[in-house]
Amino acid sequence: MAEVKLMKGNEAFAEAAIRVGSDAYFGYPITPQSEVIEYLMTEQPHMRTGMVVLQAESEVAAINMVYGAAGAGKKVLTSSSSPGISLKLEGISYMAGAELPAVILNVVRGGPGLGTIQPSQADYFQAVKGGGHGDYKMLVLAPSSVQEMADFVEDAFDVAFRYRNPVMILSDGVIGQMMEKVVFKPQQDRWTEEEIIKMNGSWATTGKTADRERNIITSLNMRSDAMEIHNHKLQAKYKLMEENEVRFEEFMCDDAEYIMVAYGSSARIAQKTLDIARSKGIKVGLLRPITLFPYPTKKIQEYVNNGVKGFLSVEMSAGQMVEDVRLAVNGKAEVEHYGRNGGIVPSPTEVLNALETQIIK
């Protein structure tokens, strides 16, 4: 039987990073995610697997280190929290443009500015709608447990390499800091040089051998006609993600008249709200989007077609994901938002009250 460990979400992410055979992690300390690099430095993964861990001089340097390692066809990760992710966005845009796979963890804290060190979900727009410059998308995974902080590392690398695109794990200060039971998969080997050349040799800078042309990693094209073609290629890729990569979890949605939509730690709170509401006889369900891009738009449209009367988006923000719910519902049912800001985590009864006053009425 697999060993069960009690760990923080940040530590689980770090341990999983070693277990999936990552080649490198580059990061910079920031609360509430510093346990990631602390755990990695303590574990000395270069002794376990040969994985490189380096504390960079800034988030800017760290993301550009990720660019370099990803461009060599390696499995590379970084992590940060909101202000640090803002600094990384330039590099993320370059990686999307140059089509580089990598895994980026954001343990979101309250903003704007230096904000707070307490949990928030106010970086939804930044993660899902682009954030950096140019028309690009990241695939965004939203864990709602410590177990998922571990499991999503492998899932994230899988889609990152399948699409040659950066993938963000959008967590928050609750999931990063809380301790839960977690079970890890066995250690996987890091890719050998031969495997990397076989899989990524058509584009990665592994050293120009006589049998091939040089490989170039760049996001630059001086010709606007060629740049438009490149943009079309990227958009086609994002469309494929929308068709194939949508993930969500449903709780008691089959007979629901009302549906709460919540991701990450808000989904955990909404689960408790769901229990209380159901015990009061309210026919409510919960949709937990696991991928935030691509978004479970079609699923929400199904609910609307099946006669769901109203939706409540529950987020620790002033109302960001609610816009995607509204886009999906397209005016055919009531959509409201309930959230707290600046690092305040709502209670299940607060959410229930919002459901009863804003949606059911």
Partner 1 sequence: MDLKDIIKPENLVYTKTKNMTDKELSYCPGCGHGTAHMITMEAVEELGITEKTIGVAPVGCSVLAYEFMNVDMQQAAHGRAPAVATALSRVMPEKVIFTYQGDGDLAAIGTAETIHACNRGENIVIIFVNNGIYGMTGGQMAPTTLMGMKSSTSPYGRTAEQNGNPLKMTELVAQLEGTYNVSRHSVHTFKNVKKAKKAIKKAFQDAMDKKGTQFVEIVSNCNSGWKMSPVKSNEWMEEHMFAYYPLGQIKKDGVLVNNSNQN
Non-local (6+) Cβ contacts of 226 within 8 A are none
Instruction: With beta carbons less than 8 A apart as the criterion, state whether 95 and 122 touch.
Output: no
Q: Which residue has the tokens 């899932």?
A: 155
Region binding partner 1 by CB under 8 A among candidate stretches 165-173, 219-227, 300-308, 344-352: 219-227
Q: Please report, as residue ranges, which positions from 231 to 270 form the binding site for partner 1 (by CB under 8 A).
A: none
- Based on CB atoms, which residue is closest to partner 1, 2 or 210? 210
Give yes or no for residue 26 binding partner 1 (CB under 8 A): yes
Non-local (6+) Cβ contacts of 45 within 8 A are 18, 51, 53
Q: Rounded to the nearest whole angstrom, what is the least distance from the CB of residue 29 to partner 1 in the complex?
A: 15
Give yes or no for residue 205 binding partner 1 (CB under 8 A): yes
Instruction: With beta carbons less than 8 A apart as the criterion, state whether 108 and 121 touch.
Output: yes
Q: Rounded to the nearest whole angstrom, what is the least distance from the CB of residue 285 to partner 1 in the complex?
A: 45
Give yes or no for residue 160 binding partner 1 (CB under 8 A): no
- Based on CB atoms, which residue is closest to partner 1, 14 or 69? 69
In the sheet that 76-80 helps form, which strands lie side by side, from edge to edge? 52-55, 24-27, 76-80, 102-108, 166-172, 139-141, 291-293
- Based on CB atoms, which residue is closest to partner 1, 36 or 98? 98
In the sheet that 248-251 helps form, which strands lie side by side, from edge to edge? 248-251, 284-289, 258-261, 310-315, 334-339
Two structure tokens written together for 342:
């600046």
Which of 10, 49, 64, 79 binds partner 1 (CB under 8 A)? It is 64
Which of 2, 47, 209, 331 binds partner 1 (CB under 8 A)? It is 209
**What is the x/- site pattern for partner 1, positions 93-132, by CB under 8 A?**
-x---x----------------------------------
Which of 21, 29, 68, 83 binds partner 1 (CB under 8 A)? It is 68
Which of 13, 39, 67, 152 binds partner 1 (CB under 8 A)? It is 67
Q: Rounded to the nearest whole angstrom, what is the least distance from the CB of residue 71 to partner 1 in the complex?
A: 5
Which of 90, 154, 180, 257 binds partner 1 (CB under 8 A)? It is 90
Stretch (H or E) spanning 5: strand 4-8
Give yes or no for residue 57 binding partner 1 (CB under 8 A): yes
Region binding partner 1 by CB under 8 A among candidate stretches 19-27, 147-155, 246-254, 282-290: 19-27
CA atoms in the 13 A half-sphere facing the CB of 336: 18
The CA distance from 15 to 42, in Å, is 11
- Based on CB atoms, which residue is closest to partner 1, 218 or 279? 218
DSSP assignment letter at 343: T
Region binding partner 1 by CB under 8 A among candidate stretches 37-45, 61-69, 272-280, 349-357: 61-69
Strand-strand pairing, 291-293 and 310-315: unpaired
Distances (CA, A) of 102 to 95, 139, 271, 299: 8, 11, 31, 28
Give yes or no for residue 290 binding partner 1 (CB under 8 A): no
Give yes or no for residue 194 binding partner 1 (CB under 8 A): no
Give yes or no for residue 220 binding partner 1 (CB under 8 A): yes
Give yes or no for residue 58 binding partner 1 (CB under 8 A): yes
Terminal-residue alpha carbon distance, the chain: 49
Distances (CA, A) of 342 to 89, 240, 312, 318, 350: 22, 35, 20, 9, 16
CA neighbor of 264 nearest in space, from 179, 145, 160: 145
Q: Rounded to the nearest whole angstrom, what is the least distance from the CB of residue 207 to partner 1 in the complex?
A: 5
CA neighbor of 311 nearest in space, from 289, 341, 291: 289
Which of 198, 208, 280, 332 binds partner 1 (CB under 8 A)? It is 208
Would you tell me which residues interact with partner 1 (CB under 8 A)? 23-24, 26, 52, 54, 56-58, 60-62, 64-69, 71-72, 74, 76, 90-91, 94, 98, 205-210, 214-220, 222
